Copies of this chain bind each other. A is one copy, B any other.
């Protein structure tokens, strides 16, 4: 994990937020290569979810919504974590995390009293993760929804707050009728969306795995009640395969985990887990939610949210199955899966990010052999200009070729092209493969079709 974090900072994938101001906890910035990787991850998801699927359309709902939506969803009353403060050093910790340290597991649906009962039994064995003392305050439930004063110009904004969404899917539920009315979707169909969400996590941990500001990729699939479980099984297969086929994740690092306690309305809940450096943890949730979400919104909005089948005339509240995954978590899985240290010889190790080629931030790097030979530089720039509108390319004329290869290996560039003196004679460049490190000569005129075959 430390190696990945260090590479991320050193090579411009991920920076801690507000570093020059001493940092801002539990929030990260994506640097020049990080944003390209994140964009490619979002594009791969969108392509599989929306573009390749006739039955799924996209949406981009806003972060701010009517506060009543969060009452309907249950987030205002039920979306909270138990917090305790160390009386010695005043560090606040999540009580369920403290209990995990002594192998006691608190259920997230427990009331404050229930949590305190268990906590009281075990707290003497638990030490503060910060100072090591064992002197905790009572557990207090803290709501995870982030409150703001957007649109509130008078009075106390904390009494009548606007909420930053805690999940993106609510924007899908409340828009589903708009989508039916403005497009040609027919049941069953899905609505997919990528966007930021926010949770006031008490302790954010494990780098970009759990952050207070994060980006979700969610798809809600609406079905006739009778078809919910059939569609659910199909979605499960699709989503697991996606990581292997579309993102190139090693399938040994993926597994299913079934939720032990289902919320009362859920029909089924499985997570796809990835083997992160800190163990198997949730990457994506695939859940069958029955008609709970639309029932709640119909009740709280007073609107009829039933779907009327245009063929049969049957009216019903659609059941919903969902696929929900974070961009940050996917990125951490992709980074973990790609990271390789190869021993090339005594005291010669290379770090190479073996990204799936479609996800690689830079697809092609172009080098003139020597930077002080104008004829090489101008030829290399010609090749670079030919490719740059089609692929994300990088031009590098600094240092010896071996060093430049290693720099590109660290950011996972699949192909490096070198323009040398022979190029000026034979119209060929040296193409070097990231994974095999093999070098071959290829005609410049054939580059486009070669790259199209390998990269698209």
Contact = CB atoms under 8 A, between A and B. Distances in A.
B64 A19 contact: no
A30 to B, nearest CB: 4
Interface stretch (A126-134, A267-275, A392-400, A436-444): A392-400
A198 B150 contact: yes
A153 B83 contact: yes
Interface residues of A, number: 88
**Most B C-beta atoms less than 10 A away, residue of A29, A202, A297, A395:** A29
Contact of A174 (B18, B26, B28, B83): B18
Contacts of A305: 20
B25 A395 contact: no
A21 B158 contact: no
Given A20-B301, A182-B10, A301-B20, A29 B69 contact: no
A47 B391 CA distance: 10
Interface in A145-159: 146-151, 153-154, 156-158
Interface in A404-441: none
A297 B51 CA distance: 43
**Most B C-beta atoms less than 10 A away, residue of A15, A191, A198, A300:** A15
A9 B157 CA distance: 31
A54 interface: yes
Interface stretch (A32-40, A117-125, A221-229, A341-349): A32-40
A200 B151 contact: yes
Interface in A35-66: 35-36, 38-39, 46-47, 51-52, 54, 57-66
A305 B20 CA distance: 9
A200 B17 contact: no
Interface string A224-268: 000000000000000000000000000000000000000000000
A105 interface: no
Contact of A153 (B12, B142, B384): B142
A-B interface, 3 closest residue pairs, ranked by CB to CB distance from nearest: A12-B182, A18-B66, A21-B66
6 contacts: A12-B182, A17-B65, A29-B178, A83-B153, A153-B200, A184-B396
